[in-house]
Each structure stands twice: as structure tokens, then as C-alpha cells.
Amino acid sequence: MPAFDKSQQSMLAQRLKIEATRLGFDACGIAKAERLDDEAEQLENWLTNGRHASMDYMARNFEKRVDPRKLVPGAKRVVTVLCSYWQEIKHANGTAKISRYAWGDDYHQVMKERLYELYAWLEGEAGTLSGRVFVDSAPVMDKVWAQRSGLGWIAKNTNLINPKIGSWFFIGTLIIDVPLACDQPATYDHCGSCTRCIDACPTDAIYKPYAVDANRCISYWTIEHRGDSIPQNIVSRQDDWIFGCDICQDVCPWNKFSRKTDEPRFQPRKGIQDTPLEEWEELDLEAFRKRFKGSSVKRAKYEGFKRNVRAVRQFRSLKDH
């Protein structure tokens, strides 16, 4: 671990943020790597109450999830970056819907590519560096670290909101052993008395402010769930979502500040937001693999995607009657 005085820590932190901007990130913040005691208690209660549904991986590696020093020995800082994926394009009327985050190429690959560049830059500047890069693929409480590094607050729908760019962004994390100057945590909460996300959720997944039950969440059932069918109480309120759900972000007033992405790989693939349900129903395995190669939609797998399409057909039939 390199040794820096406070002046050097501050200067390197500022230069890191400048480099993050140059690489295309919309925001960058730094927090001290330490155990998340309050969040650990909240997570334990959430898991104990079964709010994670079948996502058993959420219960594994608990200590690593709440303490980055267990995940990366010798860690001193957690660096968080945000990268917008917002486009001004909307879903065409009457089409089956795919969540905006999956309109372009898989964000894991795009974000990691940029993060590795940022890591390499810091290694060159620091002289020596030990750490790891994370993009929603390991036990890291990325939204909490974003808040702790001053990048926004965790809203009533449990998404992170940045006051300058809303919530349509991906989060990336570097856990490192370089003692950079830290940012002040975001202690504000600008949700106020607003309950638009809670009121708009068709399945009541936001069962109380700042808490989501995966058992009721359309995103969970259309992405994470591996069964052959979706429960009737979800199907009857599923609307036209065949992969994910954006409702709570669509209605959030803070997203009037959304920043249009300049990353070409996040631009919508042809037909992603305007393909009729009938065309998705006819999609075979080969066409699915070709159409969603390098896309986050592949996480649902072909069988799950077709299950979701059938559920939307069932929803429309129920609505018509």
C-alpha cells in the first residue's frame, strides 16, 4: 500500500475524478472502506423475512457483503462511479416492454472495460495498487457505497438518486488499498413526502418506503425467477413487461434531470422497444441467441423469456375480459 500525506491524498482523489470523467463516467465519489453496521442489520432482517425470494446468493458471503475489507484484504477506500444509460426514446404504444437498462449491450462488460482503465490509471499514478473492480457481480452494496461517497440518496423505491442526473445510471465500484481523500456522505433525502413510486407500483412490491419485497416485484419474476410460470397475482398486474420493470423510475420526478448517455453501446438495439408481442411469441431459440447476443436479456434465458411472453399474453387476455 502506498503512503501519501493528506495533501497528496486530496490531489490524487481530484485527479482520479477528472480521469473518471474523461473515461465517460457521470460522477465519481470516494468513501472509507469499513463495515456497514447499520446496513448489515437491515440486510439481515430483510433476508430473515424472506424478502429476497429465491435469490439465495443474497444470503451468501454475508460478511463480505457488509465489509469490503473481507472481500478485498487491505482495502482502504471504496471508489464509486455512475454512468448514465438514459435515452430519450420511449416504448412504442402497445408493444411488449423490456427494461431500459437492457436496451443496449450488457452493461457489465461496458462498465468493467472503463473501470479497468480507471484502475490502470490509478495504479500508474500511485506506483503500486491492490484492489478489485466490481459491476453488480459480487457481494458489494454498491448503492450504499455511492451514498457514502456523496453521490446521492437511496430513495423510497430503493434506487439511488443523484440530484443532478436522476436514477437512470449504472453503478461501478473499485475497492482499493490507496488512502485517497474521502467525500462527505450524502446525508440528505430529497424524496420528501412524495410517494409516486409507491403508488405506481402495480404489485405493491415497495411494501413500505425504502423497502422492496422481491416476491412481489415484476423485475424479480421476469429476470431472476427460474420457474416455468409466474404466479397469477403477479401476472394479473404485470402490464406488458417481458423483461424487468421501469415503472418506479418512470414516475420519479427526479428523473426530469436524466442525462442522455453518450455511450453508443447503450443505444437501443433494433426493435428492442417497439417489437409487437406477437413477434416475441414466434421467437425461437436460435433467433433469441442471435438477437440478444451480448445483451443483459440473456440473463432470463430463453425459457424464462418465453415464459414472460406467455405471462404478458395472459395479462392482456385478463385485461380484455
φ, ψ of residue 141 in degrees (nearest 5):
-85, 75
Name the strand (E) or helix (H) holding 289: helix 285-291
Q: How is residue 232 written as a grid cell? A: 397469477
Which residues, at least 6 apart from 233, have a Cβ–Cβ distance to it below 8 Å? 203
Active site residue 136: yes
Q: Residues 105, 106, 136, 284: which is the catalytic one?
A: 136
Closest CA to 299 of 101, 141, 112: 101
Which residues, at least 6 apart from 38, have a Cβ–Cβ distance to it below 8 Å? none
Q: What is the DSSP letter of 223?
A: I
Closest CA to 143 of 195, 93, 179, 185: 185
Closest CA to 310 of 282, 291, 273: 282
φ, ψ of residue 32 in degrees (nearest 5):
-70, 135
- Provide the annotated active-site residues: 136
